[in-house]
Amino acid sequence: MRFFASPAYFLVIVCLISVTGFAQTKKAKELPAAAHQLISVTVTGSDHYKSEDVMGATGMKPGDVVNQDDLKDAARILGDSGAFTDIAYTFEYSPEGTKIQWKLKDAAHFVPVRFENFVWFTDQQLLDAVHASVRLFHGEVPAQGRMADQVSEALQVLLAQKGLPGNVDYLRVGADDASPEALAYSVSGPSIAIRNVQFSGAGPEELPLLQSAGENLQGTPYMRSTLRTKAEKMFLPIYLQRGYLKASFGEPQAKVVSNDANEISVDTTFTVVPGRQYQLQAIELSGERDLSAETLKKVMHATLNQPANALELNDGVAAIKQLYGTRGHLEASITCKPEIDDANDTVKYQVHISEGAVYKMGDLEILGLDSQTSSRLQNEWTLHAGDTYDSSYAQRFLNQAYKEIGDWRVRVEETPNEDHTVDVTLRFDSQR
């Protein structure tokens, strides 16, 4: 972070100030008292903040009496926030008053703030309350600096003002702690559990299915990040398998129904936006060589001119990859790209196949069994070196072997080699 300060006395004194000190040609005390009264603050160079944000953050407002130490303190406050990488200011004293111009450069990385379980407030109430205390906060915080802690402190004060229990903390969301995707704020202390789950915007066909799935959330902790993940896994598939390919769920909303100091119960509402229902118009394949398009389409089990079942299509793609594995194509990759026609409410899927090389069987190693049993299984293994590798063979072989050797845990390790052979290791571990 770089700090610059260069105030100039308009027509009276010219003054150069750095972070180490200043020199001046005329003493500020020779000016009338009104010259130190702030009459304007302007901000340039910032895309995130306006003059009123900076005034709120620094505590300086028109009418205040300010001096050079106040400006240094204000620059320090802005720097500590982490919102800026460069901070410079100029000021002008005149008989009419003091004018300050801040020249700022915003931090490179701001991240959104998420509220996990502040069930007593709406998101807007939380945003407003934090902004009232942290004037540079508008729903985002810089990845570095004090503002993240200031938001936490403001939320803690809000709980105390309302007489609510709990301690506020936050987590950096994402793999890179120095450059997170978001900051998630939560309350620890009281148990906040879900009583009932409700759905807004659901149709009569989907609502019973959603309600049935929602029963699995009763009694579980209310935490938005967890609920978002569960909505993707539990609720969204209900729509995807019925052709609602753009269906989405809004942020879960909580309504407090029991507010004991240690145990809080909430009813949770998910808002559903189903979007349009799309019919499957066609499946077009490309890149296939060893298997015919007709064979692959049968594996996908998709029905044309019916609501596009995205889950069934995903299963079909996985089945195609598995089928290629039985033909030695261990590195086959399949992409399935939907082409949506909103005008006609139809979708066409482009399925492209990259088959890759054909792998052959290499060496077989059996570990964990006595030598006699290992030798017998080696002889019973009929996928010989040089045969086209079949990725399903090992499991079929083990299903038969269990009948002979009893209950064992087995780990199958496939090691592809540069010469396009596959070495197989069967590791047996007795469960007895």
Give all strands (DSSP E) within 83-200, no chain letters: 84-94, 97-106, 110-115, 140-142, 167-173, 182-188, 191-200
pLDDT of residue 176: 80
283 contacts: CB under 8 Å, gap ≥ 6: 297, 300, 302, 304, 348, 349, 351
- What distance in Å separates the CA atoms of residue 218 and residue 198, rounded to the nearest whole number? 11
CATH architecture of 360-430: Roll (3.10)
Q: What is the pLDDT of residue 194?
A: 98
Domain spanning 2-106 has what CATH number? Answer: 3.10.20.310
Residue ranges of the chain assigned to CATH 3.10.20.310:
2-106, 110-188, 279-354, 360-430
81 touches 146 (CB < 8 A): yes
What residues are paired with 92 via a beta bridge?
99
Do the beta carbons of residue 323 and residue 256 sit within 8 Å? no
CATH superfamily of 110-188: membrane protein fhac (3.10.20.310)
pLDDT given at position 16: 33
CATH 3.10.20.310 fits 279-354, yes or no: yes
Stated length of the chain? 432
Query: What pLDDT score does 6 carry?
Result: 42
**191-273 belongs to which CATH class?**
alpha beta
Q: C-alpha 299: how far from its chain's center?
A: 34
Spans of the chain below 70 pLDDT: 1-31, 431-432
pTM of the model: 0.80
